[in-house]
Structure 1
């Protein structure tokens, strides 16, 4: 008997938990937070909808005219008045009646043309003609599609005799079926045997919903202008991404045909065009489901539990207490489980909302179009990145910028990564975030930061890329470490690596890419102090034949190309200007904007150009550069920086030319070092370096003494440069 009691308790708890789930996930026909009623239409199910984001596309947009009483619903693209919408794939709209020779009636009205739309006329409609001795034809550009012929009964004088039993069987009224998939036709009339009298009589024809016609008094139709007609909507031209907002859609509790006409399976109800739109029907709410016994609801079905007809024996108090405790335990377990299921569904919906908000649909569109290197992009879960960054602890912050905060993290496989957390998630910032993913996925270069993946299911979007351990170039230039300093050789190598990366972006990538925010804080240094160009949030790729981008001005003061600032036209030479500022930083160790300098020289670019013009280069150089570098090589790099900072973009070199010149300067330094190592007895070498691309000539002469090496710069003035 204890077993029987426990079974009763278990069945009761199962029924209660199912009821809780049914209430929590009650199916909705419209999209969440969307209007579902307009006037006499009590349900407007998705893919139809009122308001932005509530419908599949413009064909399914409903406009509710609240100025009418009651309000009327119209299809936005066609202007047709909507009378009813069914999830069975049909909707009822108004269709014009075509009149001929009828008083106070226009004769040029035709049924609506829905060609090219997702709608076609349903075969449940009937083409109907009312008149005397007349042939009514449906035609497509003069080609007959269907028609019918009505004859006259000249003895009939009332509607009951003209239309006996309110029927349309050929006497004054005729009907015919229509072709499948019909979306357009014209209505025309022809008299039999060229009967001129018949031609003058009032006659009219229309396509009409068969069920409505059978329940309507035929004689009253002549006083109407429109009749209801049934359209079918087909979604075969749409993808799962279009309808459900995701490619990972797998139909559950529903069936669909090849035209994407879907319906919920038996035992389920709701809207099959919404994610999780088909929900279980609780048949046990209907008292007639089980006439005897206990009704137990199951997914898509129910069972009736028949109690044992034998009389229940008296159960002692101890058994009752034990049964009560067990029952309470089951109840608590059932409530906890229901809470977990409901919470999980809410979390999933929340993640889907964030996915769309953070540009997930835009990224999926980019993925499907082939613009993103799918093999390089991994979608991380929020749980993985929370664990990797210790829930984004402030102790893990690597740096902060205008577009977000960067955290250090460690993935489950032991890899150290950098996680960029965007600050703002409005439309423009999300576009920059997705743009950074697209740009980085196309770049394969050792001096550009590699993207590993992203996470879009959090409140703000997250980008995961390789961890660069040694910080930014800006830190080493403006906040030098006593234990480590940037030598001249390192500065020259870093400049070459950055120039090579920008040259690749401009001329070797599949599409030219403009970085648009080159600065020392966006140049990272890895474990071997090799340069890595980072932060592509404002970058843009352009077609091969484009020479510039016209955009709102983006960039950092001190690095911003004055020509771009004035014209809003960004070219590859704008990146060259910003790189020229970085070269000036490497040479002088000074910040791009400083209020410690005079007002006219607050910009490092202006300060550097004025110093070069007045032959004061060696008064402004960084002490480490003066200590390590050869004067003629420093002068060559300085003159290259001047050319990059030319106010006229056309006179600046390309990044490819810049990279070649810097590599040439580095090779000449290495060649001289090699000669001195091979011939140590040579204390002084006379050199002549000619390079037409550099536009630099330097020479050194002097007596060979044991006291040291001579430098040409002791007697050679700064080289001429052009700032126009």
Structure 2
């Protein structure tokens, strides 16, 4: 009995140490001394990136490190990008499709491209791919060879009205699909129009044809207007030519390594693949062949009830001492051998004693472990691992971010008493807190979050870690060991710009001079985010409630929960539309393509609020005034801006300046994002208006620019410079726009 208990304990320890099946050798491996990766692609032999590392030139992978970062792999020496290589005989690539487009005048000068995929040693997978045609006046041919014989087929896609086309349906109405026959090589496909798209040009100027992986293509009716993909994924089947058998040392198994077998791919036996024998894994093409799987390391790979013993290519099950049988759960199992009654009593007594001692030890250890794991659990659920990964990716530093304990923040907010609440939003509640050193902070407590809200929380930390600007609310630290994540900010004392504009019962109305300065500081922050941050940032929720004011009425931009970091090689991002009604860029709302010009549009709405004192969207007044942008732009068009400017705000002589700021807002609110100015240009125009209002000319030796962004003008060139720099400003000439 004592040995049985020891066996149980040993098996428990083994099971705890097993992490996952990933401890086994990975199947895809290169030859010794050869590169096994190109960028994100793992390259197993018989494929390789240089001579001596691949079986023959058909399996060459060219790793382009010159023009791409990270590097990109291409098949042989061509332009076909490889995305995955499977030892089981599949090769995933990206390939161009064919296109047939017509100009507006319906002339015969059509823009046509055909496509070929002439890889004689590879066949197009008949089980994974489909020949696909998209259009409403479109037909396409597919040709190739099967076992040396020519093959040809065609597919037709028609429709009279785009409203009849359904997403996901490829039965001929707007989209047509055909199966790929087995063994097809040397593809070529062309696409044409029956009537030059004459009757359908308004919604379908082009037809498209391509072969693509079926599981990765989902037809959308929007593709009728424009199919955005230049390349589509295709799956190829590969095998080893039987000519390699003539040079192989093992004629019966050709180049297949030890513990593997040869399987014919084609009926005529002209190609074969290698596969590991049962109980083995690895790369069967390598000289060392497949390796034994230790089934005993994972209970999912064996059915032993007690003890598992690994053998080459298999395993056996043993019964504990005093038991007999095959030891398998689905077999005989283990049954007790005949023993004396005294031995049983002694075994039970010893076992019970060990069990009590062990249980007590485990219980005490479990309590201690549970306390540690609870904090680790909250850390992970609150996105701690995600935060660490992203900060490392963006090369951020947490040296200046304080990690607060749960007890510190409980005490600072009097356990989050309602009297400490200073604001509530979509992502949680903000509390006023007082730290032990007497400093006042704002503590943002997120709601009980799901995964998407955790991403919003971590996103705000990442974005704020990239920002260093005096007009941005400073992140002081965070706490991740609580059930909900917490962020600690500097406390901004004077409320939001929204309150100061729209709640005059509690706040003194802002003068036009103060409003212009706040607008300039806010514009400077956005320009900094777009142009000067280490990684460009799109705020995505610029509005007056996210602009705080300190005691000196300096602007502090806040709430980066919806912001986006923009990779340096991209100018736009496709995202789920987020923002606030009334401030949303209509172009972004229509296309879901987020650009820096979306922030420009939102800032234009803020300028209109500062000018008019009205809300971006209001359902309280007349219908014509519900949408602030339409209301003010209409008034400006009819030269009635004076009617919408907030009464009593501007002093004498400031109305012309307000009109000029209104013109800046109008530029920001242009429907097309490309026609809107950049935030740098907005800053320069606002700064120019402010300087011209204060000085007819400026002594270039004494002027020190202030505000959120500073302007440096020499010989007609204008640049945004750092806040801390003293700059010389020459007179700006107002262009009357």
- Give the TM-score normalised by structure 2: 0.50
Does 1:364 pair with 2:388? yes
Shift of 1:500: 0.4
Distance verdict in 2 for CA 1:207–1:672, change over 3 Å:
closer
Q: Does 1:621 align with 2:645?
A: yes
Q: Output the CA distance in 1 between the equivalents of 2:275 and 2:676.
A: 69
Which position in structure 1 is the counterpart of 2:314?
227
How far apart, CA to CA, are the structure 1 residues paired with 2:627 and 2:261? 80
Counterpart position of 1:185: 289
The 1:630/1:672 distance shift into structure 2, 3 A limit, reads farther
For residue 428 of structure 2, the aligned residue among 404, 409, 429 is 404
Q: What residue is the counterpart of 2:665 in the other structure? A: 641
Partner SS state of residue 473, structure 2: coil
- State the SS of the aligned residue for 2:580: coil
1:457 to 481, 502, 513: 481
- Residue of structure 2 aligned with 1:508, choices 532, 535, 560: 532
Query: Using the alignment, how far apart are the partners of 1:478 and 1:463 within structure 2?
Result: 28
CA gap of 1:598–1:225, structure 2 versus 1, over 3 A, is same
1:498 aligns with 2:522: yes
Q: How many angstroms does 1:208 deviate by? A: 12
Cα drift, residue 206 of structure 1: 12
Kindly indicate whether residue 466 of structure 2 is the aligned counterpart of residue 442 of structure 1.
yes
Matched residue of 1:375: which SS? coil
**Kept in 1: contact 2:440–2:490 (CA 8 A):** yes
Q: Aligned pair in 2 of structure 1 residues 560, 208: CA closer, same or farther (>3 Å)?
A: closer
CA contact (8 A) 1:417 1:467 kept: yes
**Farther-moved stretch of structure 1 (429-438 vs 358-367):** 358-367
Shift of 1:590: 0.3
In the TM superposition, what are the counterparts of 1:583-598 in structure 2 within 5 Å?
583-598=607-622
CA distance, structure 2, for counterparts of residue 207 and residue 521 of structure 1:
61
SS in 1 for 2:695: helix
1:704 is matched with none
Taking structure 1 as reference, are residues 56 and 608 closer, same or farther at Cα in structure 2, changes over 3 Å only? Answer: farther
Structure 1 or 2: larger helix share?
1
2 CA distance for matches of 1:99 and 1:556? 63
How far apart are the structure 2 equivalents of 1:646 and 1:98?
A: 67
Alpha-carbon distance in structure 2 between the residues aligned to 1:620 and 1:486:
16
In structure 1, distance between residues paired with 2:629 and 2:525: 22
Cα 1:60–1:426 shift into 2, 3 Å: farther
Uncovered stretches (5+) of structure 2, i.e. residues with no partner: 1-7, 27-85, 89-257, 263-273, 297-310, 318-348, 700-714, 719-734
**Structure 2 counterpart of 1:559:** 583
2:25 pairs with 1:45? no
Partner of 2:675: 651
Tell me by how many angstroms 1:598 deviates. Answer: 3.5
Q: How much has 1:543 moved relative to structure 2?
A: 1.6
Structure 1 gaps of 5+ residues are 1-28, 31-40, 50-54, 62-76, 80-95, 101-106, 117-138, 143-183, 188-204, 210-223, 231-283, 290-294, 301-337, 676-690, 695-718
**How far, CA to CA, are the matches of 1:366 and 1:207 in structure 2?**
36
Q: 1:629 to 1:490 in 2, by over 3 A?
A: farther
TM-score when normalising by structure 1? 0.51
- 1:261-660 equivalences in 2 (<5 Å): 346-481=370-505, 484-627=508-651, 630-660=654-684
CA contact (8 A) 1:363 1:434 kept: yes
8 Å CA contact retained: 2:259, 2:290: no
**Taking structure 1 as reference, are residues 379 and 60 closer, same or farther at Cα in structure 2, changes over 3 Å only?**
farther
8 Å CA contact 1:517, 1:556 repeated in 2: yes
Alpha-carbon distance change, 297 to 575 in structure 1, aligned in 2, over 3 angstroms: closer
1:453 is displaced (CA, Å) by 1.1
Match of 1:93 in 2: none
CA separation in 1, counterparts of 2:671 and 2:430? 35
Corresponding pairs, count: 414
Write the distance in 2 (CA, Å) between the matches of 1:343 and 1:42.
19
The 1:628/1:569 distance shift into structure 2, 3 A limit, reads farther
Shift of 1:371: 3.6
Name the structure 2 match of 1:681: none
In structure 2, what is the Cα distance between the partners aligned to 1:535 and 1:58? 43
Q: Residues 574 and 523 (structure 1 numbering): CA distance in 2 closer, same or farther, change over 3 Å?
A: same
Distance of aligned partners of 1:344 and 1:380 in 2 relative to their CA distance in 1, 3 Å threshold: farther
Alpha carbons of 1:98 and 1:618: their partners in 2 closer, same or farther (altered >3 Å)?
closer
Distance (Å, rounded) in 1 between the aligned partners of 2:393 and 2:488: 22
**Residues 59 and 531 (structure 1), Cα distance of their counterparts in 2 relative to 1, 3 Å cut:** farther
Whole-angstrom CA distance in 2 between matches of 1:619 and 1:662: 22
CA contact (8 A) 2:281 2:290 kept: no
User: Between Structure 1 and Structure 2, whose CA radius of gyration is higher?
Assistant: 1
